[in-house]
Chain A
Amino acid sequence: MREITIGQYYPAESVIHRLDPRVKLVGTLVYIISLFLFKSFSCYFVVAAFLFTVILLSKVPLGYILRGLKTIIFLLLFMSMFNLFFTPGDVVYWKGGPFQITDAGIRNAGFMALRLILLIIGSSLMTFTTTPNQLTDGLESLLKPFKKLGLPVHEVAMMMSIALRFIPILMEETNKIMMAQMARGASFDEGNLIQKAKSLVPLLVPLFVSAFRRADDLAMAMEARCYHGGEGRTKMKPLRYQSRDYIAYVVMLLYLATVIFTGKVLYL
């Protein structure tokens, strides 16, 4: 359970850490769009090269990032299998009942897995290098136009950052409760699906109770420190674009252009 690294901040001194959170948010968006725009392997090569460069610059260890993938390995396998066995195609390598393996299937499965891996790594890189507070500030600033429409932008951003802060605490708690119920003879990996679902009750009730208790405590602690929403609030780390941020935007455009070029012009 301690292995869960998705959504957590990894403290380090790097260019990527120092970038303005708005740049990183926009960058992540651009990156995700680039992932879904194209369907050729060579494009993904460009994407992967770009991602790898950013990871190197960020000083977040590759092993640490890959550990985050462990948690989605089932999703990954499931989706790849689905694509592998159910995609119709021109060349059929194997057929058995409703299942078949075709050239398109292999291609799709490969794409799907690759895309998902790149997606997870890319977006978790943003949370690894941006503290939830910065993330909140960045989101708040980017969403500012919606404030006029009555959207509680600051509050939504604050909720997000608190949720991220409590992920590891609740994970540890889940682990502890599980151990305690196991000490009372419970088991979480036996029986059929219904029995398994039932065995979750002793886990979920205490977890919810604890989450509410923590929420209550935290709300009180925030109030005690004069929190009263976004109004009249100043920032310890106000967002100001530096020259490196403008350069990052240019790099982003160049990246997008390269991907489009390899995909649409070179037809690779």
Chain B
Amino acid sequence: MIGHTGSGKSTLIQHLNGLLHATAGDILYDGESIYAEGYSLRKLRSQVGLVFQYPEHQLFEATVLDDVMFGPKNLGLSVEEQKERAITALGQVGIEESLFDASPFELSGGQKRRVAIAGVLAMQPKVLILDEPTAGLDPQGKKEILGEIAKLQKEQQITVVFVTHCMEDVAEYADLILVMNHGKVAFYDTPARVFAHKEELKDLGLDVPQVTLVMQELHEIGLPVSADVITLKQAKDQILRVFAANASSRDEEVACDA
């Protein structure tokens, strides 16, 4: 999910687990209205896990393990189950066992954030929503976190919604992009199709990935490359192919002439 600050992204995702109640309209989860009478919001929140921006600011327990157990505890699970889930979740985000008894406040920034994400994963949600999970991290930390989230999505079949400002991340990880503008959905489509609207996105204060930009421009000036390239690898393959094709067609001409 992308959109400039104040476009309504954060407000929208807080509706998805019932933290905010819509003024009008309905939200269906698994085919059921979450506003129906008697619908358990607590259950919804365990199924639709929401990780806020800078989630490490919400850590509060004395140890990492206790903090991650907070969610399962609220679900009313036994202590053994709480612990089991916490350990699984910490494993999923790559926190080593030696850190389980450490105070969350002693960890590095990236570690803290992963513990905080584990705190939501420990509820074993089917949908994981993350509000700018990489904000403030350096490139290395960013890659690690996104890599782990992508792995969860593939291996645990978790549906992931993530809010970001980084188009390169969108291109690399997302199946679909939702572009928000002034509280409305501006686009909801595959990255390649959304990035084709370069000018409209610019008007919304959004960019396309650098590679998409250059490939669109090369396409416009007549190079036989496709304009819907969104990742670095695609761009590289395309450029190499056209130059190789060009070269071999000339080689053929030489052969014919001869």
Contacts and interface: CB of A to CB of B under 8 A. Distances in A.
Taking the complex as a whole, does A directly touch B, i.e. does some CB pair lie under 8 Å apart? Answer: yes
B81 to A, nearest CB: 14
B123 interface: yes
Interface residues of B, number: 23
B70 A184 contact: yes
Interface string B53-71: 0010111100000000011
A221 interface: no
A183 B105 contact: no
Interface in A205-229: 205-206, 209-210
**Would you call the interface of chain B mostly helix, strand, loop, or mixed?**
helix
Contacts of A179: 14, 19, 52
Contacts of A182: 19, 45
A185 interface: yes
Contacts of B52: 176, 179-180, 183
B50 to A, nearest CB: 4
B246 interface: no
A201 interface: yes
Interface residues of A, number: 17
Most buried by B among A179, A180, A209: A180
A93 B148 CA distance: 71
Contacts of B22: none
B123 A201 contact: no
A181 interface: yes
Contacts of A209: 57, 60, 105
Given A179-B52, A183-B50, A184-B71, A206 B42 contact: no
B74 A186 contact: yes
B145 interface: no
B49 interface: yes
Contact of A185 (B14, B59, B71, B105): B71
B60 A206 contact: yes
B58 A185 contact: no
Nearest to B119: A184
A205 B71 CA distance: 17
A183 B42 CA distance: 8
B162 to A, nearest CB: 15
Most buried by B among A177, A182, A209, A210: A182
A181 B46 contact: no
A183 B19 contact: yes
B79 to A, nearest CB: 16
A184 B74 contact: yes
B45 A210 contact: no
Contact of B55 (A180, A186, A205): A180
A179 B18 CA distance: 10
The 3 tightest CB contacts between A and B, nearest first, are A185-B74, A205-B60, A183-B50
15 contacts: A177-B58, A180-B52, A180-B55, A181-B70, A183-B17, A183-B45, A183-B49, A184-B70, A184-B71, A184-B119, A184-B120, A185-B45, A201-B60, A202-B60, A209-B57
